[in-house]
Amino acid sequence: EVQLVESGGGLVLPGGSLRLSCAASGFTFSAYWMSWVRQAPGKGLEWVANIKQDGSEIHYVDSVKGRFTISRDNVKDSLYLQMNSLRAEDTAAYYCATNLKYQAVGAFDIWGQGTMVTVSS
């Protein structure tokens, strides 16, 4: 069964750090671009970052550039998001996502269930 399982969310103080993980199973993880997408409570979807199969190409939304780092371990079939200098506006559910079936990189047909990050004092 194809699955993405996020972990690592929690409550953190403003200015603090968290590392999110996304464990992939049921498919050849190393063959696919991967992304993080977030959703603040009651708000819409915001793409955060993506990473190419071999990690050679990475992109970020402007609001997290210089604070967040996306990475992957193709041996462990895992995706990561290191989040530093966290702000209240980073409070959101964070999803990892990818496209497996349609050769439409960026049209996400597989999503995890999400992990919640709350930045508050």
Q: Which residues contact other proteins (rule: CB under 8 A)?
A: 35, 44-47, 50, 57, 59, 61-62, 95, 97, 101-102, 104-109, 111-114
Tokens 């953190």 belong to: 12
Minimal distance in Å, beta carbon 24 to other proteins? 15
Minimal distance in Å, beta carbon 114 to other proteins? 6
When the beta carbons of 46 and 77 are compared against other proteins, the nearer one is 46
When the beta carbons of 63 and 120 are compared against other proteins, the nearer one is 63
Minimal distance in Å, beta carbon 99 to other proteins? 8
Minimal distance in Å, beta carbon 62 to other proteins? 7
When the beta carbons of 16 and 59 are compared against other proteins, the nearer one is 59
Residue 58 makes CB contacts below 8 A (sequence gap 6+) with: 49, 50, 51, 52, 70
What one-character-per-residue DSSP string does 39-100 give? E-TTS-EEEEEEE-TTSS-EEE-GGGTTTEEEEEETTTTEEEEEE-S--GGG-EEEEEEE--
When the beta carbons of 31 and 105 are compared against other proteins, the nearer one is 105
Tokens 């990561």 belong to: 80
Is residue 98 within 8 A of residue 85, CB to CB? The reply is no
